[in-house]
């Protein structure tokens, strides 16, 4: 049997990093007690809209330290969540899809995305040691992936970079960064 306090502790809270229908389509199946989401992503009485600088307070961790996720906006419809204590960044789709054949297209185009990335980096660089992204071949990556993403974007913006054919999305041409396989980015 669970006490009322135990039940309150077990309530599910969900944080969405963007308004991608793939991420929010099954939300109703979870019956969360609270949904944190970028502004306009989900409507409902138990939804808290997130914006840069917001903090999601999750209580304390096992060591008694405050467990908080700091929100950083990324473009109009995405946020990242930074666990300051453990130096972990949850990026969701905001930083694309890692890999040599991702088939990812930057929202708004390479130049606009690169500008948003530069702004975001002023608030986050040096503050995390592990990066969790979405839809990748591995669960976590190094912060150097962000450098590789910037490099691939620079190549696209400059034009004339060598391209490869995507196996994931036939007909799509990819520009890759020069990084090692565990941090390579392609756009």
User: Left, alpha or beta for 61 (phi > 0: left; psi -120 to 50: alpha)?
Assistant: beta
pTM: 0.86
Q: For 127-153, what is each residue's pLDDT tens digit?
A: 999 999 877 767 788 999 999 999 999
> What integer pLDDT is reported at residue 92 of this predicted model?
86
3-state helix, strand, coil in the chain (%, to 5): 25, 25, 50
What residues form DSSP beta bridges with 60? 66
pLDDT digits (tens, 9 = 90+) for 148-165: 999 999 999 999 999 988
**Alpha helices (runs of H) in the chain, residue ranges in sequence order:** 4-9, 21-24, 27-30, 110-124, 144-158
What percent of the chain is modeled with pLDDT above 70?
91
Short-list 86, 31, 96, 33, CA closest to 62 = 86
Mean of the per-residue pLDDT values of the chain: 85
Q: Which residue has the higher pLDDT, 152 or 182?
A: 152
Residue 8 has pLDDT above 60, yes or no: no
Contact present, 17 and 80 (Cβ < 8 Å)? yes
φ, ψ for residue 27, nearest 5 deg:
-55, -40
């Amino acid at each position: 049997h669970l006490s009322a306090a135990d039940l309150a502790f077990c309530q599910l809270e969900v944080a969405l990093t963007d308004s991608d229908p793939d991420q929010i389509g099954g939300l109703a199946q979870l019956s969360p007690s609270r949904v944190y989401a970028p502004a306009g992503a989900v409507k409902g009485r138990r939804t808290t809209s997130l914006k840069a600088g917001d903090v999601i307070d999750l209580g304390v961790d096992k060591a008694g330290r405050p467990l908080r996720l700091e929100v950083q906006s990324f473009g109009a419809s995405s946020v990242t969540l930074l666990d300051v204590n453990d130096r972990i960044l949850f990026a969701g789709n905001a930083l694309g899809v890692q890999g040599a054949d991702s088939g990812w297209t930057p929202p708004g185009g390479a130049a606009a995305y690169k500008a948003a990335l530069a702004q975001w980096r002023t608030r986050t660089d040096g503050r995390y040691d592990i990066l969790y992204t979405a839809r990748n071949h591995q669960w976590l990556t190094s912060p150097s992936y962000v450098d590789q993403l910037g490099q691939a974007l620079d190549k696209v913006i400059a034009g004339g970079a060598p391209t490869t054919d995507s196996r994931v999305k036939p007909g799509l041409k990819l520009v890759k960064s020069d990084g090692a396989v565990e941090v390579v980015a392609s756009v």
